[in-house]
């Protein structure tokens, strides 16, 4: 049944894309001149090392929006106020995302960069990751340290990866260059998967944004489906969504994440005994009381 829904979704998206693409010249003539976001163009790399080797890269385009309290946020994303409440910051918030194009949106990963203001200077304090899976459109958001952080895997992103293990994620403050890196640390396969985004800023006034991002979400979806087909062809195990076999997978992810947070403050010896690192008592541990603050959004119709 899900395969039928997927085919219907592809057909519907194709017709919508064709229709809105024909209207694009009129949109360019009558478009409003809102404050433009910063534009980035670069490359996404994926590499899977086990149980079979599979790697690829593709060009991608992103927009970096500054979220203002007095303006509308890009659709289907947190507002500046919501992001500040999650990150507990008081400064500007920037959203890195792929904007929708001709009626279609595909965003495997969006990032919020949350700054603190101290006096006349600002510093990047926290980031929020927003991960969306394909084709279900489920989403999880979580808080993380941009320098480097380890988060228990909270979402079934790929049908060729199980829910075990964790994500190691890091990024840098976006400027002329953009960098994001994620690796998967698995209890059996080890550090077997990595992905990265490297991009450079391009002049935002050099082109119309509708043209700059035309079919960009479609291209990302095409790469996802094409390489899923290749993994299936290589006989990589197809793993059913855990909502069918283990409805408590979200609660289990939270429990695993609590253990990871403990490991941030403690080290474990070979007998799995906890040893205090640089602290005298648990009350002195410099752990965020909020943790990673997982927030899930379930699949929408017809995937629900």
For 80-135, the pLDDT digits (tens) are: 999 999 999 999 999 999 999 888 888 999 999 999 998 888 999 999 999 999 88
Do 112 and 99 form a contact (C-beta atoms < 8 A)? no
Is 286 inside any structural domain? no
Nearest CA-CA partner of 102 in 29, 207, 206, 211:
211
Res 289: pLDDT: 47
At 203, list the tokens: 């002049």
At 127, list the tokens: 């980031």
Is 276 inside any structural domain? no
List the end-to-end C-alpha distance of the chain, in Å, as a whole number: 12
Number of domains in the chain: 1
Res 207: pLDDT: 63
For 256-285, the pLDDT digits (tens) are: 999 888 775 444 443 333 333 333 333 333
Is 282 inside any structural domain? no
Is 280 inside any structural domain? no
Residue 30 or residue 246, greater confidence: 246
Is 193 inside any structural domain? yes
Is 303 inside any structural domain? no
Q: Going by DSSP bridges, is the β-strand pair 109-118/121-132 parallel, antiparallel, or unpaired?
A: antiparallel
Average pLDDT over the chain, rounded to an integer: 83
Is 105 inside any structural domain? yes
Which domain covers residue 237, as residue numbers?
2-264+291-297
Average pLDDT over residues 5-13: 65
Res 194: pLDDT: 97
Nearest CA-CA partner of 160 in 110, 105, 256, 224:
224
Is 35 inside any structural domain? yes
How many Cβ atoms sit within 10 Å of the Cβ of residue 119? 5
């Amino acid at each position: 049944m899900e395969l039928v829904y997927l085919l219907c979704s592809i057909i519907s998206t194709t017709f919508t894309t064709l229709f809105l693409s024909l209207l694009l010249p009129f949109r360019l003539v009558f478009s409003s001149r809102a404050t433009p976001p910063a534009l980035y163009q670069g490359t996404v790399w994926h590499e899977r090392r086990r149980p079979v080797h599979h790697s690829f890269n593709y060009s991608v385009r992103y927009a970096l929006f500054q979220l203002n309290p007095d303006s509308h946020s890009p659709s289907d994303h947190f507002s500046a106020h919501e992001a500040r409440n999650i990150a507990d910051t008081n400064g500007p918030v920037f959203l890195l995302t792929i904007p929708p194009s001709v009626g279609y949106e595909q965003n495997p990963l969006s990032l919020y960069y949350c700054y603190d203001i101290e006096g006349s200077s600002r510093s990047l304090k926290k980031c929020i990751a927003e991960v969306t899976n394909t084709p279900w459109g489920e989403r999880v958001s979580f808080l993380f340290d941009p320098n480097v952080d380890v988060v228990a895997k909270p979402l079934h992103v790929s049908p060729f990866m199980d829910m075990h293990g964790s994500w190691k994620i890091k990024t840098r403050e976006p400027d002329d260059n953009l960098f994001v890196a994620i690796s998967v640390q698995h209890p059996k396969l080890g550090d077997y998967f990595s992905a990265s985004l490297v991009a450079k800023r391009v002049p935002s006034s050099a082109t119309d944004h509708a043209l700059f991002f035309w079919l960009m979400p479609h291209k990302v979806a095409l790469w996802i489906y094409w390489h899923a087909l290749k993994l299936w062809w290589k006989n990589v195990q197809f793993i059913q969504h855990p909502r069918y076999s283990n409805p408590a997978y979200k609660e289990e992810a939270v429990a695993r994440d609590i253990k990871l947070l403990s490991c941030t403050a403690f080290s474990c010896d070979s007998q799995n005994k906890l040893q205090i690192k640089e602290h005298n008592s648990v009350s002195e541990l410099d752990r965020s009381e909020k943790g990673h603050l997982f927030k899930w959004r379930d699949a929408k119709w017809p995937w629900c």
